Structure 1
Amino acid sequence: MSFNKAKEAHEKLMSERKEVSEINKYQEALNKITPTTSNYDLIAKN
């Protein structure tokens, strides 16, 4: 594999990771707004 190909692969991986972290942040924000089913289960048990 040439250096450029390795560099491209690395950049692609990094941009994908960035997208995943953005999605995770969005998911965390959603979880704060809407209780998950596990939260409902805890409420129901109490």
Structure 2
Amino acid sequence: MKRYHITVGARTTADGTVRTGWEWSTINGQAMAREGDEVDCPRC
């Protein structure tokens, strides 16, 4: 099973965008998103 690191600003498969993340853990300067963080989803 593949696992991905998702960061704030990343796009979703439904053309959404990750809005919030945990700023204490970053990847390339972007906060890492966790389960329960906010996502804008135009299709939902």
* Shorter-normalised TM range: under 0.3
Determine which structure has the larger helix proportion and give its number: 1
Normalized against structure 2, the TM-score is what? 0.20
> Considering only CA atoms, is the larger Rg found in Structure 1 or Structure 2?
1
Determine which structure has the larger strand proportion and give its number: 2
Which one scores higher on RCO, CA 8 angstroms, separation ≥ 6?
A: 2
